[in-house]
Structure 1
Amino acid sequence: MPPLAKGRKAPDFKGNDQNGNPVALSDFKGRKVVLFFYPQDMTPTCTVQACNLRDNYALLQQHGFTVIGVSPDPVESHKKFETRHELPFTLIADPDRKIIGKYGVWGEKQLYGRKYMGLHRTTFIIDPKGKISHVFLRPKNKQHAEEIIAADITT
């Protein structure tokens, strides 16, 4: 299944955050949400992306965004990732890939000619009405916050 497209209603979900607390997308109704899916905690590219969002978190908040990350890692891994990199936003554990499946970001990947199944790094901007207003299929990890803000300004 391909990732959800711009204009579609964002599917609600429930999961546990890095502290083991339940979180649902519906908890953020009426707010703009940056929902970013990333393959794995502590990996170089995922760390660059998360730290870019961390470093620009105040600016994202000024633009009205709530930031939520989702990966198939367990709660304990998310807690280590949050602590090590001082991440100020929610990280949701999705080891059963239920949320990942709803957003269509799991599929075949290829690295050095080898094909395998994995998570496609994808970010969705969800508007206050719960609609997807922008999809980043290949986020610029080192400038991800900047491209999110630019997309918000043009929307």
Structure 2
Amino acid sequence: MLNAGDQLPEFTALNQEGRTVQSSDFLGHKTVVFFYPQANTPTCTAEACNLNDHLAELQKAGYSMLGISADSVKKQKNFHTKFNLGYDLIADEQREIVEKFGVWQEKKTFGKTYYGIVRTTFIFDEKGICVRRIDKVKSKAAAQQILSAD
């Protein structure tokens, strides 16, 4: 998994509108990249909405936001529209980005073992260097976890 001190991996992907987004678009300002398992699930919705509710504070602190999951562009669009999210969601159906960040891992739930996205938030500085990784993301306090470092 990506650690503090690591460079923002290069990627090109589609956002919820089907527009191309590149990692290089985020160089020059602080960026929060958060990974969530699946759009429109209760915990992922709580996290996305918490970040959206505190988007003005996050932007005031200088952050750009980017959410990534392995959902399709269509699912990301639905999620984005349904909750009126003010930041881009990336569709990583081929799991190229999640693999680069190291968040595609073995998980266990109710005795079942499977692979999926581990909910993780990465914070990058203006040069694209990871300054912090949040592993135990609290979906209803995700923005506060990010802002607590400032």
What TM-score, normalized by structure 1, do the two folds share? Answer: 0.95
Amino acid at match of 2:12: K
Pairwise CA RMSD? 0.6
Q: 1:18 aligns with which of 16, 19, 23?
A: 16
Structure 2 residue aligned with 1:60: 58
- Give the Cα–Cα distance (whole angstroms) in 2 for the partners of residues 19 and 10 of structure 1: 23
Q: 1:76 aligns with which of 70, 74, 78?
A: 74
Structure 2 residue aligned with 1:92: 90
Partner of 2:136: helix, strand, or coil?
coil
Q: What is the Cα deviation at residue 80 of structure 1? A: 0.4
- Give the Cα–Cα distance (whole angstroms) in 2 for the partners of residues 28 and 106 of structure 1: 22
Unaligned 5+ segments in structure 2 are none
Q: 1:107 aligns with which of 97, 105, 108?
A: 105
Runs of 4+ more than 6 Å apart: none
Structure 2 residue aligned with 1:47: 45
- Give the Cα–Cα distance (whole angstroms) in 2 for the partners of residues 127 and 25 of structure 1: 13
The question of 1:29 aligning with 2:27 is answered yes
Q: What is the Cα deviation at residue 105 of structure 1? A: 0.2
Amino acid at match of 1:26: S
Partner of 1:79: helix, strand, or coil?
helix
Q: What is the Cα deviation at residue 138 of structure 1? A: 1.5
Q: What is the Cα deviation at residue 9 of structure 1? A: 1.0
Q: What is the Cα deviation at residue 139 of structure 1? A: 0.7
Share of identical aligned residues, percent? 45
Partner of 2:86: helix, strand, or coil?
coil
Unaligned 5+ segments in structure 1 are none
Q: What is the Cα deviation at residue 69 of structure 1? A: 0.3
How many residues end up aligned between the 2 structures?
150
